[in-house]
Amino acid sequence: MARPMVKPGTKVLDIVKAVENHILENASGMSFPCNVAINNIAAHYTSPVDDQTVIEEGDLVTVDCGAHVDGCISDSAFTIALNPDHEALVKASEDATRVAIRMMRPGAKLNTIGALIEDTIKSAGFEPIKQLSGHQLKEYELHGEKQVPCVSGKSEVLVEEGEVYAIETFASTGSGNVTDLPDPLIYQLLPIRVPVRFKGTKRFLGIARKEFKEFPFAKRWMAEHLRKAELELAIRELQKNGALLAHHILTEEEGEFVSQAEDTVIVTAKGAEKTT
């Protein structure tokens, strides 16, 4: 339902809210806030409360979202090129994800799959994003211990029957390296108990544990419950105590472009079965 909204003149905030509302009406909840990444942004951009960002002519736009039903997670992403010059970049990540899914079967080496992803993207004339990868999905756990890299490596970890994975690949016109931006818009509680001083922090913890559980959440969502000053103070206190993880916006160099393609699969004896 998000694809028709990706067009010049649409506010990113409108897309994000529409996707999130659709998921909340049809699933138990969000497993990750809806992300809308434009041009050189690779991951982790979701709208702040007052986001005025508008999709423009020629943009490359990725929509990435996650949902869960009673803790069972699905994760999916697609990229739309509003400039025909970027269609090959979109195809590169789509092809890489498709090839990786075909390789997902019991006994396959995740490193071998990563090498195939890298070869597919590079053969199209682009670079895979080295710091981002697909990941195992477990009940109420978005990022399991097994990773599906976008590049080759030395890991000997094998795929096993019954496992669930988010297979996601990223293709870039740049170097394939991303950097963190300040002022993250997505956070996640860590499974530890820490002492807190401020009433606002206690409210923050209560809301996050009840509403979002183990899943990442948008700062925008928490702003519906806490005043701005109260929210900022709670974030600072929890980060200082090591109880709050920030998912920073990740970007390629200015002027470059990044595409993404993602599907969720269950590994069966015969191969991978898509659920998204």
51 is catalytic: no
262 is catalytic: yes
* Catalytic member of 127, 168, 230, 256: 168
* Catalytic member of 20, 230, 262, 263: 262
86 is catalytic: no
8 A C-beta contact, residue 197 and residue 168: no
263 is catalytic: no
* Catalytic member of 22, 143, 225, 248: 143
* Catalytic member of 20, 51, 59, 75: 75
* Catalytic member of 64, 230, 252, 256: 64
* Catalytic member of 44, 68, 135, 247: 135
Whole-Å CA distances, 25 to 29, 66, 130, 216:
9, 14, 35, 19
Element (H, E) at 184: none
Which string of b and e fits 98-127 if b means at least 16 CB within 10 Å? ebbbebbbeebebbbbbbbbbebbbeeebb
DSSP secondary structure of 120-136: HHHHTT-EE-TT-EEEE
81: amino acid identity, one letter: A
Residues designated as active site: 64, 75, 135, 143, 168, 262
